[in-house]
Chains A and B, each alone.
Chain A
C-alpha cells in the first residue's frame, strides 16, 4: 500500500475566515513536523486529516484511501488532540480498554496492546491510577498509548508537548521517534525545538498556507548568510529590535549579544555572520514570505 499522505489544493473555510488555503503537501513515512504560529491552521489540518473536519475543496488520500472513506481513515489513524484527557474517574487501563472497544478490537488484542503500550510509555506501574491523578506528562503519554492502541498506519499528534517540563518533553519526543520508525507521524507544534529534535521533514504554515516544505536541513541551508550576531550596549536594544528580526538575546552586564535575521550584511558595526539554527531558519522563512516585518513583528 501507498505509505504516504497526499494533500492536494485543500481549502477550508469557517464562514468568511479561510483556515486552509490551497494546501498542497505530501507526507511520507517517519516523523513529519508541521510548524507554525498559533492560529496558522495546523489544528484544522490535523482535524481534517483525522476525518473530524470537512474540507471545502481539494483532495486528500491517506495511504491511498480517500479521506471521505471515514470509517477506514479512522481505523488507520491514531489521533492525539491538542486538548486531551479522558473521564477523570476512569483508570488508565480502563481508558485503553474502553477506547479499544470503540476501535473494534477484541478483548485479547486490547489486553495485549494495552500491556505493551503501557510499558512502552512508562505507565505500567500507574495503570490502576485514575486519570484525574495523572500529571500533565503522564496524561500525554496515555494520549500516545491510546493513539497507538489499534496500531494505526498514521499517527497525528497536535501540540503534544505544550505545558510539559523539559524532561517530559524530551521523553515524549523520543517516544514519538521510536513509533515513527514504522508509520507516518505528523507532529504539529509551534515549538521549534520539538521539530529540530525529532523531524527530518517538515512544513511551515502561516494563515492557512504552506510557506515551505522539505527537509529540515534545507530550511536551515536557506537561512545561511542571513543570520547575524552583534554585541551592543543594552540601551540600543529598542533600535535593533525595530530594525531587524531578532531571534535571540543574551545579556551580559550592560552589554547584550543580539542574534537576528537580515537579508545581506546589516549596517551595524561589529555584526558578524553566524550559522543558522532551525529557529533562525523558521523566522527567516516567515520574514522571506512577508509574514513578519523587518522589525520582527508579524
Chain B
C-alpha cells in the first residue's frame, strides 16, 4: 500500500518525467535505436570476401614489431601518451627513467643508441606539433633471443616506468598492436551464434544493457535527490517524522519505489527494442523475453546500487554535493571502463558494446554474476544505513550535529 503511494508520488513528479525522457533518449534512442539504423550495420549472414571488422589475433611478430616501433617513436620524441584513470596524460621522462626505457629498447632491438640509430636510418613519416616526429620503422624487429614472455615482461616494465595506463600495459597491448581483420569463418560463426544460441535478442539485449548501464549510473541521482528532499522542501518533514510508521518501513517503501520507477524507462524501451530488432530479423526466431531478462539481471542491480548509495549520501550531505559526486564518479568510471567484456567484479558499469561475442561474455559470466550480486548487496547495505541515518534525524539526534546540520538538506 505504502509502496504504491510512494511509487505514485515518484512517477507523477516532474523530475521523473525528465528522468524518463533522458533515459529513453540518451540510454536508448541515440544509441540502440540509432545504431540499428546506421548504414554500417549488416543484418545478413556474412559472405566470403567481405570486411567483418577487426579482432585480436595471435601474431607475435606483428605485435612485437608494432609495439617496439611505437615505443621507439615515443622515446625519440620523449613524449608518451598514457591514460591513467582514464584521462589522457603526456609523460616526459628524464634521468634514470629515460635511461631505463633506453635499456628496454636496447634489450629488445640490440641497438645501444637507439635515438641516433633511428634518426640516421629511418625517414620521418610525418611531423606534428612542430617538433614531434613520427619515424617509419617497418623493418626493425625484435631480437630472436627475446621470447614473447620476455617481450611482455619488458613492455609491462615500460608501462610501470610511464606510470601505468599506457598502450604497453598487459590489458591494452594486444588491442593496440595485435589487431587483424576478422576471418570469414569467425564472422560466420559469430553470426550463427547470434541467430541460434542467442535467439537474436539475447545478443541485442547485451548491447541494449551496455547503453542503459551507462545512463543508469548517472541519472538516478537526480531522481533520488529531488524525491528525498521533497519532505523538507514541502515543509512536510516534521509531519512525516511524527507519524507512527517505523523508519525501516518508510525507507524501504521509498527505496523500492525509486528503484521500480528507475526501471520503468528501461522496461519501456525493452519493448521498443524488441520492435526495433523485429524490423531487421524474423520475429519468429527472436526470444521475446530476452530484453526484459537482461534488464533485470544487468540493469536492476545498477539501479539498486546507485539508488542505495545516493540515498545514503543524500542523508548525509547536500543534494547538490551528491549530484556532483555522482557525476564525477560516473565520469571517471566511464573513462576507466573498457568497452570490451573485460569487466571485473568491482566495475559498476559493465560494457559489452556489441550484439556479437556471446562466447566472450559467457567466458566472463561468473565475474558478471559476482559483480551484479556485489552491487545489489552494496545498494541494499547503503539503503539499510540510510534507514539508520533517517531514524537519527527523525529523533533529532543527527540534526544536532552542527556540521551535518549545516551541510544536509534534511537539517532542522
Q: Which residues of A contact B (CB under 8 A)?
A: 14-15, 47, 50-54, 70-71, 74-75, 77, 79, 81, 83-90, 97-99, 101-104, 107, 131, 146, 150
Contact = CB atoms under 8 A, between A and B. Distances in A.
Most central of B2, B243, B402 by chain A CB within 10 Å: B243
Given A89-B12, A102-B2, A52 B242 contact: yes
Given A86-B236, A87-B234, A102 B245 contact: yes
Given A54-B395, A54-B396, A74-B244, A86 B402 contact: no
B244 A101 contact: no
A77 B242 contact: yes
Given A81-B238, A85-B236, A86-B234, A103 B12 contact: no
A90 B213 CA distance: 33
Contacts of B90: none
Interface of B: 1-2, 5, 9, 12-13, 230, 234-236, 238-246, 250, 394-397, 400, 402
B14 to A, nearest CB: 9
12 contacts: A51-B242, A53-B396, A54-B395, A77-B242, A79-B238, A81-B235, A81-B239, A85-B235, A86-B236, A89-B12, A103-B244, A104-B245
A103 B238 contact: no
A131 B246 CA distance: 26
Contacts, number: 75
B284 to A, nearest CB: 46
Contact of A146 (B239, B244, B402): B239
Nearest to B243: A102
A52 B1 contact: no
Nearest to A77: B242
A193 to B, nearest CB: 25
Contacts of B236: 85-87
A103 B241 contact: no
Most buried by A among B246, B396, B397: B396
B256 to A, nearest CB: 15
A99 to B, nearest CB: 6
A159 to B, nearest CB: 13
A83 B402 CA distance: 22
B400 A52 contact: no
Nearest to B245: A102
B396 to A, nearest CB: 4
B24 to A, nearest CB: 23
Contacts of B235: 81, 83-85
A84 B242 CA distance: 12
Contacts of B395: 51-54, 70
Contacts of A146: 239
